[in-house]
Amino acid sequence: MRTRRLGLALFAACVALLAACTTPATRVVLLPQEDGRPSAVVVQSRGGEQTLARPYARATAAAGATGAPVVDQADPAQVRRDNLSLFELAPPRARNYALYFDAGNTVLTAASERTMLEVVASALARSGGDIVVTGHTDTTGTPAQNDELSRRRAQEIRQMLISRGFPAARVEAVGRGQRELAVPTGPDVNEARNRRVTVEVR
């Protein structure tokens, strides 16, 4: 039996829990995505195919069977118990943080300085992980000025992470200027919640 991919990044959408070839049956279980988005996998055997589209849907093909795989619903707790070693190999869930800045500069607010300590701890706890730092601004100033300021904010946080021991090659910093406002405003509005950097630790 083999599985055929539907859509993009199916590996992130499901895990094929396959028994050895000498066992009486081969099974595939569709696991839910972390973010809750729908996913699907097509399971094929000599006698036909079935589509699994619900979390924990299970397809079973008995050895030597001539028909399509049989589909039922697996118990989530039992799936975890039966495949604990596979679940333990999965990377930890990505963490997202927002850091805020004083107006017009790259100075973190006092509250965000404390949040930065959490970011560093989370980053260093993930061996082999990577980080995406994205800078943003409010709508004061020109778009060109805000592009530059957002890049500087992202680079400032990147350098903080590197200085605390996170590998430079695994930290990406980009600036988005005023393009992705957390709080929609008109032009030339001083909005503290838009003066931010988002950090994804994954």
Residue 12: is its pLDDT beyond 80? no
**Mean pLDDT across 86-103:** 89
Overall average pLDDT of the 66-91 stretch: 88
Task: Tokens for 117, please give them.
Answer: 């300590």
pLDDT reading at 24 higher than 70: no
Structure tokens at 32: 């839910």
pLDDT at position 142 = 98
43 forms beta bridges with 3, 50
Report the C-alpha dihedral over residues 33, 34, 35, 40, rounded to 10 degrees: 0
pLDDT of residue 23: 52
Specify the higher pLDDT residue, 67 or 84: 84
R_g over Cα of the chain: 23
Under DSSP, the state recorded for 49 is E
Q: Tell me what percent of the residues of the chain surpass a pLDDT of 70.
A: 88
Residue 11 burial (CB count, 10 A): 9
Its pTM stands at 0.64
Task: Inform me whether the pLDDT recorded for 14 exceeds 60.
Answer: no
Residue 8 pLDDT > 80: no
**Top-confidence range, 16-25, 125-134, 182-191:** 182-191
Give the phi and the psi of residue 95 in degrees, each rounded to 5.
-115, 140
**Average pLDDT over the chain, rounded to an integer:** 87
Q: How far apart are CA 11 and CA 51, in angstroms?
A: 16
Could you tell me how far CA 88 lies from the centroid of its own chain? Answer: 17
Q: How many helices (H) and strands (E) does the chain have?
A: 5, 10
- How far is residue 156 CA from its own chain's centroid? 23
Q: Where are the beta strands (DSSP E) in 85-128?
A: 95-100
64 versus 4: which is more confidently predicted?
64
The reported pLDDT for the residue numbered 128 is: 80
What are the pLDDT digits (tens) for 99-120? 999 999 999 999 999 999 999 9
Dump pLDDT digits (tens) for 34-72: 778 899 999 988 888 999 999 999 999 887 777 889 999
Could you tell me the residue ranges of all domains in the chain? 2-89, 95-201
Is 3.30.1330.60 the CATH classification of the domain at 95-201?
A: yes
DSSP bridge partners of 59:
28, 71
Average pLDDT over residues 129-142: 97
**What is the rounded CA–CA span in Å between residue 181 and residue 126?**
29
Higher pLDDT, 24 or 149: 149
Q: What pLDDT shows up at residue 88?
A: 80
